[in-house]
Amino acid sequence: MFQKLKDAYVKARYSKHYQIDLEELNWLAERVEILGRMTHSICTAHVAKTSRKKAAH
């Protein structure tokens, strides 16, 4: 499925013949949403940690 996501990013932009079915698209959309939440959480924690270190100096 990750390959399908990579293909969608590249092939859907450059090929009018690229296809993905609704089930695959929904599965990928759910995973992208999870990845976005995880990325936000990790980055927020890192920024907070960095801010605390700067405040301590």
| pLDDT number for residue 38 | 97
| pLDDT number for residue 4 | 78
| pLDDT number for residue 43 | 98
38 CB-side CA count, 13 A? 6
Give the pLDDT confidence of 1-36 residue by residue, as tens digits: 778 778 878 887 888 888 888 998 898 899 899 999
Q: Are 20 and 8 in contact (CB under 8 A)?
A: yes
Closest CA to 28 of 42, 43, 8: 8
pLDDT band at residue 48, thresholds of 50, 70 and 90?
Answer: very high
